[in-house]
Chains A and B, each alone.
Chain A
């Protein structure tokens, strides 16, 4: 970079940015983040559509099917099974003894899981009333999923 200060010397000053420390830092950071990303036992991600309750529990979620009850409906492993139009469950949903779509999906999960323990992880919005939870719990119970794990955000 010549700024015109060294014209008399007839030399070209070469100033290069030393990137080595920055690359060192980035490599360490990258290794740390990738390691953290791959070994985090709590693989659940908090979806934006629901706000989880707070809990004092520190038990990490096992690798089991995840059922989400949000404002928009019921999802099993990311697949929408029941929709709540305008965010309100239908009367048919609330009065159902079992939810057929959920029942079928849970039966598939059950038959495809060689290590079936009856465990189901439930991620539900903290404002969801028990009346909305009941049909899901009932269906899960009939399908053989009696060990329900309610997900919550750990209190600090």
Chain B
């Protein structure tokens, strides 16, 4: 693919008759300096504009104001209270485990949530209640641990549809609801 040779490069008319050239080696070079200037200006700009780190989003539902909340029919209530020093997992009002916030604590949290998922395979919602001093980085870490299964996790198979077709689950509790927003 030679774009340059097609039109931008040197095009000396040497008596071909088409370029109006005579026999005296008349040069009708295309002035490529402005084109080069444009390239030299545009390419660094575009390279610098490229965001090298991809920005993604994590879906979070914020609970609605009390007046418009509809009563849920499910009995499943998985709640995660995230503090500055520890995180409590509560299932249907009972405390399941307390995990101290230390290095690798989200892995421990994830492992515990995988166990809960195995016994509640049809449930997808988790309510996260961060303490006021929790920082966003910890909240995002908790949401990542709660949302999907890792490749290293033991597969969880769910029988789906009327035929009971086995489906390998990718997600743990992807429906994250943030609590404590209105308190």
Contacts and interface: CB of A to CB of B under 8 A. Distances in A.
Interface of A: 16, 19-24, 26-30, 33-34, 36-37, 40, 42, 44-46, 52-62, 121, 124-131, 133-134, 137-138, 140-142, 145-154
Nearest to A26: B39
Interface in B134-167: 134-137, 139-141, 143-144, 147-148
B133 A138 contact: no
B55 A154 contact: yes
A55 B10 CA distance: 52
A129 B134 contact: yes
A37 B181 contact: no
Nearest to A147: B61
A30 B36 CA distance: 12
Contacts of A149: 57-60
Given A44-B55, A127-B137, A142-B65, A19 B47 contact: no
Contacts of B65: 141-142
Contacts of A134: 132, 180-181
A47 B57 CA distance: 16
Interface residues of B, number: 51
Interface stretch (B1-9, B15-23, B91-99): B1-9
Contacts of B143: 55, 150
B50 A129 contact: no
A19 B37 CA distance: 13
B58 A130 contact: no
A16 B10 contact: yes
B36 A23 contact: yes
Interface of B: 1-5, 8-10, 32, 35-36, 39, 42-43, 46-47, 49-51, 53-65, 130-137, 139-141, 143-144, 147-148, 178, 180-182
A154 B54 contact: yes
Contacts of A33: 42-43, 46-47, 50
A56 to B, nearest CB: 5
A20 B56 contact: no
B139 to A, nearest CB: 7
Contacts of A62: 57
19 contacts: A20-B8, A26-B36, A36-B46, A54-B140, A55-B144, A59-B58, A61-B56, A137-B62, A137-B181, A141-B62, A141-B64, A141-B182, A146-B61, A148-B59, A149-B59, A150-B57, A150-B60, A152-B140, A154-B54
A126 B46 CA distance: 28
A103 B181 CA distance: 16
B51 A46 contact: yes
Contacts of A126: 135-137, 140
B35 to A, nearest CB: 7
B19 to A, nearest CB: 18
B99 to A, nearest CB: 18
